[in-house]
Chains A and B, each alone.
Chain A
Amino acid sequence: MNCEESLALMHLYLDGDASEEEAQQLREHLKTCPDCNQHYRELKQTESLLSGAAYELSAPAGFTASVMANLPKEKKRVGYMRWFRAHPIITAAAVFFLFMFTSVLSAWNSDSSVSVSKQEGLIVENDLVIVPEGVTVKGDLVVENGDLDIRGQVDGDVTIINGDLVEDPGAKVNMASVDNISGEYQEIDRIFGWAWYHLKELVTF
C-alpha cells in the first residue's frame, strides 16, 4: 500500500466505511510509515475535537415563546381553507347546495311575469288566466306568477305557482272551481314548495 492509498483508507475508516480487511491493511501500513501514522493521529484528534464541540448548544432562553409569538396570525380565510381541505365531501356538498340555492333564488326572482302552459282556449288578462265558460282544457294546466280563474272545465291536473285560484264572487268559493278540475289541484306559493316542485320536475323527466 502506498501513502496515497493509505490516506484514502484513513477517511473511509473514520467514516466507518472501511471493511475489516481494509482496516487491517491500514493498521499494517501505519506501523511501517511514520508520516502516515502522524497524519492519522492528527485526523483522529480533529475528529475527537469536533465531536467534543458537537455538544448541543442551547437555544437562548425564551426561544420557543418567541417563535410562538412570531407565528403568522392565521387569516380567517386560511383557517377555512384548512377546514375545507380536511373535509372534502362536506365542502363539495356545500358548494353544490350553494349553487342550487342561488340559481333557484335567481330563477324565483326573475320569473315575475306570468307564464302558463300552452293550451287552447285560455285567456290571459294581465296576471289573470281565465278558463272561459264552456271551454274544456285538455291536459295538465300550470300557471306561474299569476292567478287562475276557472269558469269552464280542466281535464287534468292544475298547478298554480305564486298565485291564487280566483274565487268567483257569486260561486261557492273555490271549491266550485276546484270541482271543475278532473285531476289533482295544487297551489304553491312558498319558495321551498316551488323549488321542490321544480326539483321533482327535474327528477321525473
Chain B
Amino acid sequence: MENIIKYHIKNVKKGDHAAFEEIVSFYQNKVYHIVYRMVGDSHEAQDIAQEAFIRAYTNIHSFDENRKFSTWLYRIATNLSIDRLRKKKPDFHLDAEVKGTEGLDMYSQLAADQALPEEEVESMELQSYIHKEILSLPPKYRGVIVLRFLDDLSLAEIGEILDLPLGTVKTRIHRGRELLRKKLRHV
C-alpha cells in the first residue's frame, strides 16, 4: 500500500490532480477519525480534516518521499486540531460535556434508511460515552490516546507525529490511561 501511495504522491508532485483524489479517498476516514476524536464536533472535524488535506496538497513539495506519508499527514491533522482547541480554550472545558454528547452525529453518518438493530444502538451509546470520556482528557493526553489505537501506529511514530520524544509519549500514555481508568471503570 505504501508503494501505491508513493506512486500517487510522485504524480501529485507532477501536478496530477486525480492522483491526489486517490490519496484523499484512501486516508479520509483515518484523518477524520483523528480530528473528530480530538475536537469532538463533527462539523468542525470535517472542516479541519478538509483543511488538513488542502495543506498537504499545497505543501506536497516539502514532503520527503523517503518518509512515511501517513505520519506527515497525521501530523498536519493533529497540529490543526490542537490549534483549533487552543483557539477556543477559554470556553472549551465548560462545554466539553455538551460537545461530547453529540452521539447523534454518529447516527447521522449512517445511511438513513438503514434500521439500527437494538444492540448496535446500545453499542453506539457506549461508543459515544467513551468518545465523551476521551474528549474530557486534557488535549496533550488525548492526542497520544487517540493515535495509539489507530492504524497500528508504533509509539515511535506517535512521537514523530506529535513531535515528542519517545519517553514523553510513554509518560502521557500512562497518565492518560490512568485518567481514563477512573472514568471508565464503572462501565
Q: Which of A46, A51, A60 contacts B46 (CB 8 A)?
A: A60
CB contacts (< 8 Å) of A63 on chain B: these are 24, 28, 32, 46, 49-50
A68 and B20 contacting across the interface, CB-CB below 8 Å:
yes
Q: Which of B21, B148, B174, B185 contacts A68 (CB 8 A)?
A: B21
- A15-B173 CB under 8 A given contacts A59-B29, A63-B50, A66-B50: yes
Considering only residues 42-86 of chain A, those with a C-beta below 8 Å from chain B are 42-43, 45-47, 49-60, 63-64, 66-68, 70-72, 74, 79, 82, 85-86
Q: Which of A15, A54, A58 contacts B149 (CB 8 A)?
A: A54
Residue B53 is within 8 A (CB to CB) of chain A in the complex? yes
The interface size of chain A toward B, counting residues with CB under 8 Å, comes to 35
Q: Determine how close the nearest CB of chain A comes to the CB of B62; give it in whole angstroms.
A: 13
Prevailing SS type, chain A contact patch: helix
Residue A11 is within 8 A (CB to CB) of chain B in the complex? yes
Considering only residues 19-69 of chain B, those with a C-beta below 8 Å from chain A are 20-21, 24-25, 28-33, 36-37, 42, 46, 49-50, 53-54, 57-58, 61
In the complex, A111→B139 CA distance in Å? Answer: 73
Of A15, A39, A60, A74, most B-chain CB atoms within 10 Å = A60
- A53-B131 CB under 8 A given contacts A11-B173, A58-B32, A72-B58: yes
B32 and A82 contacting across the interface, CB-CB below 8 Å:
no
In the complex, A70→B20 CA distance in Å? Answer: 13
Residue B6 is within 8 A (CB to CB) of chain A in the complex? no
A46 and B149 contacting across the interface, CB-CB below 8 Å:
no
Of B36, B109, B126, B181, most A-chain CB atoms within 10 Å = B181
A15 and B53 contacting across the interface, CB-CB below 8 Å:
no
Closest residue to B109 on the A side, CB-wise? A58
A53 and B185 contacting across the interface, CB-CB below 8 Å:
no
Considering only residues 1-28 of chain A, those with a C-beta below 8 Å from chain B are 11, 14-15, 17
Q: Determine how close the nearest CB of chain B comes to the CB of A101; give it in whole angstroms.
A: 28
A57 and B33 contacting across the interface, CB-CB below 8 Å:
yes
CB contacts (< 8 Å) of A51 on chain B: these are 149
CB contacts (< 8 Å) of B130 on chain A: these are 49-50, 52-53
In the complex, A56→B36 CA distance in Å? Answer: 11
B149 and A71 contacting across the interface, CB-CB below 8 Å:
no
B54 and A50 contacting across the interface, CB-CB below 8 Å:
no
- A50-B109 CB under 8 A given contacts A11-B174, A64-B25, A64-B28: no
B57 and A45 contacting across the interface, CB-CB below 8 Å:
no
Closest residue to A81 on the B side, CB-wise? B61
In the complex, A47→B187 CA distance in Å? Answer: 13
User: Can you list 15 residue pairs at the A/B interface with Cβ under 8 Å?
Assistant: A11-B170, A11-B177, A14-B177, A15-B155, A43-B181, A45-B181, A47-B177, A53-B134, A57-B32, A57-B33, A58-B109, A63-B50, A64-B24, A68-B20, A82-B15
Q: Can you list the 9 inter-chain pairs with the closest CB atoms, starting with the nearest? A: A54-B149, A59-B32, A59-B28, A11-B174, A53-B130, A42-B185, A57-B33, A64-B25, A64-B24
Known contacts A72-B57, A82-B13, then 7 further A-B pairs from the complex at CB < 8 Å, ordered by chain A residue: A42-B185, A45-B184, A46-B181, A52-B130, A54-B149, A56-B150, A68-B17
